[in-house]
């Protein structure tokens, strides 16, 4: 659910405003309402500094340093460290680019060996010229060596490198590529390359020293900069009234946290107004769900937060997502691996990672359920005759045709469920009359389902279908005129094909589940061939291939099992539920930025 918000407006004398903000930040409950307009130059500079420090920290954390001792630097030195680090990395990057260009030049000169450019210049001063030629070996003509003063320097397939000495103005009728005379010799380039590498290594040593010493100072500096950004942002979103003697600040507070704010204002005698926000205020969104649904909130946030007036769909898509993941992975053995792996890792994982592992546990349970339902365990099909000893348990398992039908049934249930949620949400926001057209769609789809598949109610479904069409035509936009409604209703009825397209999208659940099972079967089949076909080492390689093969299949299938339910949720279900999104997360003005 979305936590209800209250809008607060504070009126504070300018002389008390700084103290007021400092104490307000200590409460950590007010989400400041941002005013439209461009940020100031000061705020932009602080944001850039924040980025520089974050980039520096990220770069240092990726460096590998063998030393373990270092001197901690002070918080005040954090900004200077970031700037020095940036300067050093820029310098190192320039040197590296120069070194890369030099290496290309060295690579180009290596076929010619080491020679003196000074000797070449002396020959030119004496009226002679050295020509440098490159020629494919298949086109090289040995008679050139008899006809002209030619000397082969090296042969590096597919080319031959050779030189010829002539008078300064003489040309040679040789069918080969002539290159300009090199300006530097190989030895001088190698020396320069070595010097550049030494400079790069020296900078590396300095950066390694930073890695050992600077991270605590950078983290402290980052916290201070972020705190300053937050304060400057709040000040810039403050309106100045009564000739700038009164500061007016607007913001939002969750209703379950406003008691602390009211007590603070009464104690400090701060003048304030509070009211229920209207849609134009665009209040922030704070989600509050059960322990189970809360695990799926990061999945919903991958798409967008709901707007404040909407419903939070997290509790409604969470069970479907768990089932869809299990359907796609569809192997009870893999489900056990996911469940046990997540459970064991939770004992040593940090607090931030534990919700992710809890989510993995539920996804593992969903996989076990569907693996048992479809009779698949590590690529083994429990419906085969060799598992007849399972007896009546197999009566609860479904074959591939039934799995295909189940995928469509789940899709239909989720789409209709989404339509019911859309109808409820419209009635809650705008009134019941705005939800009538959505109920029309529900009646129409159920009637088509009955007429085409179930055939339970006969002619009643025909009348119900026409009733649904009528509701769509006349109630699609209660605020429009009759002709406008009819025109819009006809256009919306044309979109009924989209519902069938959405329904067919759920076939991917069946397809992914089958592909995972087939790959598991292939792994088992190859493993058995290895066991039977290779003497002595066969059993060992059998076990190794089983572990590697099923491990790879689990990783690949788990990725698809996560991505495709995402698509079904964000496209098919969100569309059916009329999800708009666009909400902004609740971020209170606090001493610990971004924490609620």
Is residue 544 over pLDDT 90? Answer: yes
Looking at residue 67, its pLDDT comes to: 46
Q: Does 443 fall in a domain? A: no
Residues 345 and 393 in one domain: yes
Instruction: Taking residues 34-38, report their average pLDDT.
Output: 69
Looking at residue 560, its pLDDT comes to: 92
Instruction: Taking residues 355-377, report their average pLDDT.
Output: 93
Q: Which residues pair with 8 in a beta bridge?
A: 251, 274
State the residue range of the domain holding 524: 291-402+505-576
Q: Which of 531, 530, 517, 527 is nearest to 378 (CA)?
A: 517
For the stretch 457-476, pLDDT in tens is: 777 888 888 888 888 888 88
Which of the four pLDDT bands, split at 50, 70 and 90, describes residue 62? low
Looking at residue 73, its pLDDT comes to: 39
Residues 342 and 216 in one domain: no
Is residue 316 over pLDDT 60? Answer: yes
Please tell me the pTM assigned to this model: 0.72
Is residue 61 over pLDDT 50? Answer: yes
What does the alpha-carbon distance between residue 235 and residue 249 come to, in Å, rounded to a whole number?
Answer: 9
Q: Which of 101, 115, 108, 116 is nearest to 193 (CA)?
A: 101
Instruction: Taking residues 344-362, report their average pLDDT.
Output: 91
Residues 509 and 366 in one domain: yes
- List, in sequence order, the alpha helices (H) in 375-506: 400-430, 436-449, 459-475, 482-494, 496-505
Contact 520, 545 (CB under 8 A): no
Contact 594, 587 (CB under 8 A): yes
- List, in sequence order, the alpha helices (H) in 375-399: none
What does the alpha-carbon distance between residue 485 and residue 480 come to, in Å, rounded to a whole number?
Answer: 6
Peptide bond into 113 cis (omega under 30): no
Residues of the chain with pLDDT > 70, as a percent, come to 93
What does the alpha-carbon distance between residue 584 and residue 257 come to, in Å, rounded to a whole number?
Answer: 19
Residues 102 and 204 in one domain: yes
What does the alpha-carbon distance between residue 171 and residue 361 come to, in Å, rounded to a whole number?
Answer: 80
Residues 295 and 374 in one domain: yes
If DSSP codes are grouped into helix, strand and coil, which group holds residue 251?
strand
Residues 321 and 214 in one domain: no
The DSSP result for 58-82, as a single string, is HHHHT--------PPPPGGGHHHHH
Which of the four pLDDT bands, split at 50, 70 and 90, describes residue 555? very high
Is residue 596 over pLDDT 50? Answer: no
Instruction: Taking residues 410-430, report their average pLDDT.
Output: 92
Residues 180 and 199 in one domain: no
For the stretch 562-577, pLDDT in tens is: 999 999 999 999 999 9
Residues 357 and 296 in one domain: yes
For the stretch 230-276, pLDDT in tens is: 777 777 777 877 777 888 888 899 998 988 889 988 888 888 888 89
What does the alpha-carbon distance between residue 290 and residue 480 come to, in Å, rounded to a whole number?
Answer: 40
Residues 320 and 389 in one domain: yes
Looking at residue 36, its pLDDT comes to: 66
The residue among 184, 207, 242 that closes a domain is 184
Per-residue CA distances from 99 to 105, 107, 206, 225, 293 (Å): 10, 12, 19, 37, 55
Looking at residue 68, its pLDDT comes to: 41
148: left (phi over 0), alpha (psi -120 to 50) or beta: beta
What does the alpha-carbon distance between residue 141 and residue 133 come to, in Å, rounded to a whole number?
Answer: 13
Residues 94 and 147 in one domain: no
Q: Does 28 fall in a domain? A: no
Which of the four pLDDT bands, split at 50, 70 and 90, describes residue 582? confident
Q: Does 436 fall in a domain? A: no
Q: Does 475 fall in a domain? A: no
What does the alpha-carbon distance between residue 182 and residue 170 come to, in Å, rounded to a whole number?
Answer: 19
Q: Does 22 fall in a domain? A: no
Q: Does 414 fall in a domain? A: no
| Chain position carrying tokens 């949720």 | 569
Looking at residue 77, its pLDDT comes to: 59
Q: What's the full length of the chain, in residues?
A: 596
Residues 207 and 345 in one domain: no
For the stretch 124-172, pLDDT in tens is: 888 888 899 999 999 999 888 888 888 999 999 899 999 998 888 888 8
Looking at residue 248, its pLDDT comes to: 87
Count up the domains in the chain and report the number.
3
Residues 323 and 386 in one domain: yes
Per-residue CA distances from 331 to 180, 385, 512, 564, 565 (Å): 67, 19, 11, 17, 16
Looking at residue 69, its pLDDT comes to: 43
The residue among 125, 152, 184 that closes a domain is 184
Contact 19, 269 (CB under 8 A): no
The residue among 146, 164, 184 that closes a domain is 184
What does the alpha-carbon distance between residue 302 and residue 297 come to, in Å, rounded to a whole number?
Answer: 9
Q: Does 569 fall in a domain? A: yes
- Residues contacting residue 568 through CB under 8 Å, at least 6 positions apart: 320, 324, 411, 414, 505, 506, 508, 509
What does the alpha-carbon distance between residue 208 and residue 202 come to, in Å, rounded to a whole number?
Answer: 10
Residue 461 φ/ψ, nearest 5 degrees: -65, -30
Q: Does 321 fall in a domain? A: yes
For the stretch 186-210, pLDDT in tens is: 888 889 999 999 998 888 877 776 6
């Amino acid at each position: 659910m979305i936590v209800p918000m209250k809008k607060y407006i504070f009126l504070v004398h300018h002389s008390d405003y700084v103290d007021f903000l400092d104490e307000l930040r200590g409460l950590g409950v007010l989400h400041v309402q941002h005013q439209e307009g461009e940020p100031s130059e000061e705020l932009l500079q602080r944001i850039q500094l924040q980025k520089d420090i974050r980039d520096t920290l990220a770069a240092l954390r990726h460096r590998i340093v063998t030393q373990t001792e270092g001197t901690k630097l002070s918080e005040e030195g954090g900004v200077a460290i970031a700037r020095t680090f940036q300067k050093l990395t820029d310098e190192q990057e320039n040197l590296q680019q120069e070194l890369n260009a030099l290496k290309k030049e060295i690579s180009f000169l290596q076929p010619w060996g080491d020679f003196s450019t000074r000797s070449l210049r002396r020959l030119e001063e004496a009226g002679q010229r050295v020509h440098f030629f490159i020629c494919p070996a298949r086109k090289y003509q040995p008679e050139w060596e008899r006809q002209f003063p030619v000397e082969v320097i090296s042969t590096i397939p597919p080319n031959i490198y050779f030189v010829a000495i002539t008078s300064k103005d003489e040309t040679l009728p040789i069918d080969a590529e002539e290159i300009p005379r090199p300006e530097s010799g190989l030895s001088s380039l190698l020396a320069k390359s070595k010097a550049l590498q030494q400079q790069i290594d020296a900078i590396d040593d300095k950066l390694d020293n930073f890695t050992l010493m600077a991270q605590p100072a950078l983290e402290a500096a980052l916290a201070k900069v972020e705190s300053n950004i937050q304060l400057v942002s709040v000040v810039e979103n403050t309106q100045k009234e009564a000739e700038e003697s009164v500061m007016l600040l607007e913001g939002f507070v969750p209703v379950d946290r406003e008691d602390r704010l009211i007590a603070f204002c009464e104690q400090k005698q701060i003048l304030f107004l509070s009211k229920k926000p209207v849609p134009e205020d665009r209040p922030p969104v704070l989600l509050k769900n059960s322990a189970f649904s809360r695990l799926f909130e990061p999945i919903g946030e991958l798409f967008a937060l709901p707007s404040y007036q909407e419903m939070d769909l997290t509790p409604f898509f969470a069970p479907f997502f768990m089932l869809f993941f299990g359907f796609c992975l569809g192997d009870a053995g893999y489900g056990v691996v996911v469940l046990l792996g997540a459970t064991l890792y939770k004992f040593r994982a940090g607090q931030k990672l534990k919700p992710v592992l809890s989510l993995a546990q539920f996804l593992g349970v969903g996989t076990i359920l569907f693996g048992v339902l479809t009779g698949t365990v590590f690529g083994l099909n429990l419906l085969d005759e060799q598992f007849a000893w399972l007896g009546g348990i197999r009566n609860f398992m479904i074959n591939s045709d039934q799995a295909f039908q189940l995928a469509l049934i789940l899709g239909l249930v989720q789409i209709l469920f989404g339509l019911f949620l859309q109808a409820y949400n419209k009635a809650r926001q705008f009134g019941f009359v705005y939800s009538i057209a959505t109920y029309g769609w529900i009646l129409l789809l159920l009637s088509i389902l009955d007429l085409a598949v179930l055939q339970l109610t006969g002619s009643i479904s025909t009348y119900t279908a026409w009733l649904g069409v009528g509701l769509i035509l006349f109630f699609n936009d209660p605020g429009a005129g009759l002709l406008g409604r009819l025109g819009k209703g006809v256009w919306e009825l044309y979109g009924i094909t989209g519902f069938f397209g959405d329904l067919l999208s759920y076939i991917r659940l069946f397809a992914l589940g089958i592909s995972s099972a087939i790959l598991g079967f292939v792994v088992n089949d190859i493993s058995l061939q290895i066991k039977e076909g290779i003497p002595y080492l066969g059993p060992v390689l059998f076990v190794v291939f089983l572990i590697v093969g099923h491990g790879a299949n689990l990783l690949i299938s788990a990725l698809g099992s996560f991505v495709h339910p995402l698509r079904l949720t964000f496209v098919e279900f969100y569309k059916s539920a009329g999800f708009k999104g666009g909400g902004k997360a609740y971020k209170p003005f606090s001493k610990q930025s971004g924490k609620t």
